[in-house]
Amino acid sequence: MNDMHDIEMNQETFWNLIAQAKEKCGEDLEASADWIREQLLFMGAEQALSFHNIVHAYRDHAMQFGVWSGANVLSGGLSDDSFMDFCAWLIAQGKETYAAVLADPDALADVKPYGDCRFESLAYIGDRACEELTGRSAYDQFDKAGYRKLMAEVAAEVPLGEGINYPYSTEEAVEYLPKLCAKYDVNATGTWNYDCVDVRNALKKEKKSSRVRNRGDAR
């Protein structure tokens, strides 16, 4: 990027920044985090805040049970917090990979795992830049209505694949993620906490992918 002072942080420039970090730093995630932070400090507080909101919107959009199943296979099992960090790592792979996985988590079979498939610090870069520039946290400047609008834009930009928010059992995950499960340990698909309200609601409301054979459940 040339004159960073003149750049507005929106979804397009966000992905450009992510791509440049990947190109410059490769698989060194902390070097990527440092490089992005430097760019945000140069761009200013308003753009750093926008980066913070955008990265959280893309991360939240990726938090689908089908993606979680794929992440478990790719990285050997993830807790709630670790899955959030995986979604940040997925963003760092670039828009093309991110969109492909949200269209079909089996696309993770074509993604090289590295860095434990987690990039926790990506979600905090914008906040840290805001703190350095203004002394105020990005979290203290949260605009609920603005974030809802941003989430709607992200959802329209990156469509979700069929059945992506269903909590698949290990047996179902083999059918839902055939390439991925053929490449890695199927037993790492994980076991859901069926006492969790979100899991129970998804089991009731979400439809399975057509790739998953009918097991007597019309959903």
Residue 16 backbone phi and psi in degrees, to 5: -60, -40
DSSP 8-state code for residue 218: -
Q: What is the pTM of this model?
A: 0.93
CA dihedral 117, 119, 120, 122 (to 10 degrees): -160
Instruction: Say how far apart CA 191 and CA 126 lie, in whole Å.
Output: 33
DSSP 8-state code for residue 26: T
pLDDT of 219 higher than 90: no
**pLDDT value, residue 60:** 98
Question: Over the stretch 20-56, which tens digit does the pLDDT of each residue have?
Answer: 999 999 999 999 999 999 999 999 999 999 999 999 9
Asked if residues 55 and 91 have their Cβ atoms less than 8 Å apart, the reply is yes
Count the neighbouring beta carbons within 10 Å of the beta carbon of residue 127: 21
**pLDDT value, residue 191:** 78
Give Dmax over CA atoms of the chain in angstroms.
59
**pLDDT value, residue 199:** 94
> Considering the chain, what percentage of its residues have pLDDT values greater than 90?
85
- The residues near 15 (Cβ < 8 Å, ≥ 6 apart) are 94, 95
Question: Over the stretch 109-132, which tens digit does the pLDDT of each residue have?
Answer: 999 999 999 999 999 999 999 999
Instruction: Say how far apart CA 169 and CA 173 lie, in whole Å.
Output: 6
Q: How many CA atoms lie within 13 A of 96 on its CB side?
A: 5
Question: Over the stretch 142-196, which tens digit does the pLDDT of each residue have?
Answer: 999 999 999 999 999 999 999 999 999 989 999 999 999 999 877 767 678 889 9
Question: Over the stretch 67-83, which tens digit does the pLDDT of each residue have?
Answer: 999 999 998 788 889 99
**pLDDT value, residue 214:** 57
Asked if residues 168 and 65 have their Cβ atoms less than 8 Å apart, the reply is yes
- Per-residue pLDDT averaged across 93-111, rounded? 98
Residue 54 backbone phi and psi in degrees, to 5: -70, -45
**pLDDT value, residue 7:** 82
